[in-house]
Amino acid sequence: MMTDLHYLNKYALEMTGSLKYFILLVMTFWSISGFAIHIVRGDLSYRWLGNDKYEVTLMFYRDCLGGNPEADFDDPASIAIYDSKNNLQVQLGQLGQVLIKFNADDTLRQESDCFMDGNGVCVHRTIYRKVVELPFRAGGYTLVYQRCCRNTTLANIIDPLETGITFVAEVTEQALAESNSSPAFRDWPPIFICVGEELSYDHSAIDDDGDSLVYALCTPFLGATKERPIPQPAPRPPYDQVVYRSPYSLDNLLGGAPLSINQQGLLTATPNTIGQFLVGICVQEYRNGQLIGTIRRDFEYNVVDCADLLLTRFTVDTATVCADVVDVTIADNSVGVPADATYKYTVTSDRGLNLEFTGPDVTFQTNGAQTLTITQSVMASDVCTTNKTQTITLDVTDTGLGFTDTIVVCLGSSIALNPNYNDRYIYTWSPTTYLSYADGPNPIAEPLESITYTASVFDQVLNCTIVESVHVEVIDNPGVTADFDVQKECNSLKINFINKSVGADSFVWTFGDRSNPDFSSNEKDPMYTYPSGGNYDVALTVPGDECNTVKTKRLAITGDDFVDFEKSIYSCGPSLIDLNTGLNPLYIYRWNDSPLISDVNAAVPEAYVRENTTFMVTVIDPLNDSCTIKGIINVEIDDQLVVDLGDTLFTCEAGPVELNPGGNPDLIYMWTPTEPLDDPTSFNPTANITEEIRFVAKITDPNDSTCMVRIPLYVKFGLDDGGFEDGILSLSVIAVPFS
């Protein structure tokens, strides 16, 4: 029978070398001495980053049961740098060493499975990673990490407790010259295999440079000893190899059908002996027929009798539903679990999620970018309890909503509802009661009573919509008012805040700077310098026992764009033109009087321009009205596409009306709004008129997709003034409803 161990790989990665320990522990013919410090597996690799910079990665595993304290992770770990003549390169790194601090956050602790007699295991893994400069050097470099000691229970080598480990990465001269990165193994093999069953495991590596890889079993190097377990730096090359215990050898690592690896990286064997065995793998990297480097790794295989093995494991699948909402499916894949065993899953996250589920399979929904920690506990009565943990990162784009569902404030407060919004989404808020900036992603609410706001969030990438809500609970105010003014000089990013609060003596300021989100101030009248112009939500909070009193203001801070300007807008024909200055819409705008502009205070007014026209505007700093700039927009109207809809269409009564009976059917039309129209893409749609309305026809030249104009058409009830206005005859179209 063949056992394909691909499906065990994730399990094995989490458990690493300690399954060997539990396997050996529960078998009576092994005993483990107090000196067994259980280095399990590891390897050393590098990645070219450019400009002689290389990222060096040491992956290291050890048992966490029964180990000598000297087997704690190194802090720091030392990777020695030698040249081709085995001289320590003291001018590189830190006196010839890459010293890497231990990062506890990289450590995975896994409580492991048990045989039916109740024994368990535990494994630690950490990854050391650091960037080092390796300038070109004839002959290249050898990177080396050494440590003591291996498991005393290894069956196929002599004196394992004194052998230690040496991990080596060769950075050859050619590798330096050609900006090479070492190959990277896809994964770690499972820590145990079943006696008498055929092993088949893909142990291949990936090479980002596309080099040819040659696989071979190889003898691991000896390393540090008990007398000097942590040499820093590691002694210079060359290194002796471990000595195999008879009858084992490189051709007989496990007993039974020999372990072998083919040139696709496939490991195969059929072991016939229960025990723990050391295995080494080498991968040579060739470019254009030349050997450019070699990476090595060694690990322990545990051959066990699987008849009574209780193996718990689970898979986690995630699927984005819409926006940042994710379905999470947990499926149990355990083996040998008794029928009366019970399951519990605990799900926590770095965003405060805390859930518990029972049963072997679970599905739940969550939202937001976060890292989930999922622990499966399987309780087999009178046997053991096993715990497995996986960490899953939900890589979604946050809407900013869904975590702080309730905001408690004192009456008289104003708060931003969604400060962590994302421009990927379009937010529609309801109701708009007590809201400022209600048409944007992050309105400011100043409610006079408790209220729940609903946000319909449209995902422009996935073309779908979700609904989130924020409840604002308003509590009676204890007599506190939070308020402030600002002072700003022209052409400055420095803002002075003037506190106008009443009944307060402690304050917390946040300044809405997304580049410095954690900064706050407790000063009464702080000063803050912003990194650039833009809109910033400044919040002044007065802490209270029952509630906080908050004042939030959206400040439009002028930046490098606040200078006099002149710009041109081109249209291929008469058209509605958005007079967009490109400036912050929260600046104050004063357009020169023009019959074409209906709102001279609009940030982006719309003008129906039929001929070349110049528009002028004065823009005022909203935080200092003495700071102004002048702007000129020149609109050039061409005659490539000239369409006249007649401006106003009169109808005597409500009902169906043709909008453009004399229109050109060869042009491409899109009319808005679409709701009253039978066909918004028709050159002459029929509109069901129930009230006076303005339509806009977006019309495109079929022979030039870059030529598009927008033409307004007003539909009004009644007749015009008889064709006379100020003594001048004018003509308008009169529409007669038809049946």
Whether 25 shows a pLDDT value over 50: the answer reads no
Read off the pLDDT band of 480 (50, 70, 90). very high
Is the separation of the CB atoms in 391 and 416 below 8 Å? no
Whether 112 shows a pLDDT value over 70: the answer reads no
Q: Of 114-118, 311-315, 559-563, 675-679, which gets the smallest average pLDDT?
A: 114-118
621: closest CA among 592, 593, 586?
586
Residue-level pLDDT at 720? 57
Read off the pLDDT band of 104 (50, 70, 90). low
Distance CA 150, CA 163 (A): 7
Read off the pLDDT band of 451 (50, 70, 90). very high
Residue-level pLDDT at 105? 53
Residue-level pLDDT at 33? 36
pLDDT per residue as tens digits for the range 532-583: 999 999 999 999 999 999 999 999 999 888 999 999 999 999 999 999 999 9
Whether 641 shows a pLDDT value over 80: the answer reads yes
Task: Give the residue, 531 or 719, on which the prediction is more confident.
Answer: 531
pLDDT per residue as tens digits for the range 383-393: 567 788 899 99
Whether 12 shows a pLDDT value over 90: the answer reads no
Rounded mean pLDDT of 422-445?
Answer: 96
pLDDT per residue as tens digits for the range 681-731: 999 999 999 999 999 999 999 999 999 999 999 999 987 555 444 433 344
Q: The tokens 């823009």 sit on which residue? A: 619
Residue-level pLDDT at 71? 55
What is the percent of the chain with per-residue pLDDT over 70, rounded to a whole number?
Answer: 87
Q: In 3-state terms, what secondary structure has residue 324? A: coil
pLDDT per residue as tens digits for the range 258-280: 999 999 999 999 999 988 899 99
Q: What is the mean pLDDT of the chain?
A: 87
Read off the pLDDT band of 172 (50, 70, 90). very high
- Please report which helix (H) or strand (E) contains residue 19, including its range: helix 18-25
Q: Which range in 23-37, 106-120, 186-200 is most confidently predicted, on average pLDDT? A: 186-200
* Cβ neighbours for 147, distance < 8 A, ≥ 6 positions apart: 39, 60, 74, 164, 165, 223, 224, 229, 230
Residue-level pLDDT at 186? 86
Q: In this structure, what is the dihedral angle of CA atoms 39, 43, 49, 50, given to the nearest 10 degrees? A: 120
Whether the ω angle into residue 233 lies within 30 degrees of 0, i.e. cis, is yes
